[in-house]
Amino acid sequence: MAATLQTPLYAAISSSPASSSSSSSSIRTTTSFSFFRSTPPPTLLFNSKNSFSLIRASSTDTVITELDAVSAFSEIVPDTVIFDDFQKFPPTAATVSSSLILGICGLPDTIFRKAVEMALADSECYGLQDPNARLSCFATKALVNVGSDMTKLVPGRVSTEVDARLAYDTHGIIRKVHDLLKLYNDSNVPHERLLFKIPSTWQGIEAARLLESEGIQTHLTFVYSFAQAAAAAQAGASVIQIFVGRVRDWARNHSGDKEIESAKLNGEDPGLALVTKAYNYIHQYGHKSKLMAAAVRNKQDLFSLLGVDYIIAPLKVLQSLKESVASGDEKYSFARRLSPQSADRYMFSDEEV
């Protein structure tokens, strides 16, 4: 995990030239963004009590698209960091990750280049004798500098990735979050605007529980089982992220997992079934967590998850939804699949509870 998620970042930072120039031109990379709201979203063009969206519909557009229709049930999240796409799918919040910093370092002109260069010129980091500590310092400063700039561009919350090499170290995660929070405080970013993205190992979930008890909002990711989702909800995580497509991919090539086999036996997609069960658990037992469905591969996946708090969808799916017009009758035919009412009727086994 460390090599995959972290090593390219440090390699890029250590080889990236520091300069004082910056540019406002667009970044071109394919790393995924995640978006979160801390304020009520805007109402869409047709009236609905559950009308929420992270895709801002035009107030002058009189055409109801499929994107407008599905956004009445879930907050639809564009999966992109291609900033040219912001005009089509404006983000309201963001995630700052090692992959994003890598993309910034790999391009000559981006709107966040100066934030990274300032981190590379930090005298405190240069004063560290240990090379690993020095690179870690540069990376941390770069994440916070870019994250601070993000809070000026989006109205919602910014989630900052915690070093994945700390995934099995509860106290290490907590120390890292405190370090990140201090740097954000130094940049005058209020903690209400921040989330901290933590891997959902048992140690990560315990770290989230302790951080949430301090009033620090956490975003638990890499959830691939109901046990993880339930534990994350019990820990009080602010956001829980499940990768629908990754669960499906794993299930196609593996067997013997009781949870996966149960979903298949019922004729269900394992990834969609996990999101459904986690959503029902959160709402039936009154947990505060918001659920995010990621790695959504197609429109049918999205339609099957309507009602979940957040759906991260690739641009090709969003573009298809935006280009498909819903007639006056069709806009009401999109059914909400997940709701607090349906959650109350869901039956959990004694073992699951």
Using one digit for the tens of pLDDT, what is the confidence trace for 261-285? 888 888 999 999 999 999 999 999 9
Domain range list for the chain: 63-92+217-352, 94-153+158-191
| Strands across the sheet containing 239-243 | 75-79, 310-314, 290-294, 239-243, 218-223, 194-199, 158-161, 94-96
Mean pLDDT of 72-93: 72
pLDDT band of residue 10 (cuts 50, 70, 90) is: very low
CA neighbours within 13 Å on the CB side: how many for 28? 4
pLDDT at 351 > cutoff 50: yes
pLDDT at 249 over 80: yes
Which amino acid is located at 204 in the chain?
G
Whether 278 contacts 229, CB under 8 Å = yes
* Maximum Cα–Cα distance across the chain: 67
The residues pairing with 94 across neighbouring beta strands, listed in sequence order, are 158
User: Among 11-25, 115-129, 203-217, 226-240, which is the least confidently predicted range?
Assistant: 11-25
Q: Is the pLDDT of residue 127 over 80?
A: yes
Segment 321-343 shows an average pLDDT of 80
Q: What is the average pLDDT across 298-310?
A: 94
Would you state the pLDDT for residue 92? 72
Mean pLDDT of the 69-87 span:
74
Question: What is the CATH T-level fold of the domain 63-92+217-352, as seen in this structure?
Answer: TIM Barrel (3.20.20)
pLDDT of amino acid 331: 52
pLDDT at 239 over 90: yes
Mean pLDDT lowest among 14-23, 81-90, 145-154, 210-219: 14-23
Residue 287 has pLDDT above 80, yes or no: yes
* Angle at 191 (CA atoms; ends 185, 195), nearest 5 degrees: 115
349 Cβ contact list (under 8 Å, min separation 6): none
Q: Determine the pLDDT at residue 83.
A: 55
Report pLDDT digits (tens) over 135-181: 999 999 999 999 999 999 888 899 999 999 999 999 999 999 999 99
Which residue has better confidence, 80 or 336? 336
For 305, other C-beta atoms within 10 Å of its C-beta total: 26
- The predicted structure's pLDDT at residue 328: 59
Any idea which residues carry the catalytic annotation?
197
Q: In this structure, are residues 100 and 143 in contact, taking their beta carbons and an 8 Å threshold? A: no
- Of 2 and 338, the structure prediction assigns the larger pLDDT to 338
Average pLDDT, the chain: 81
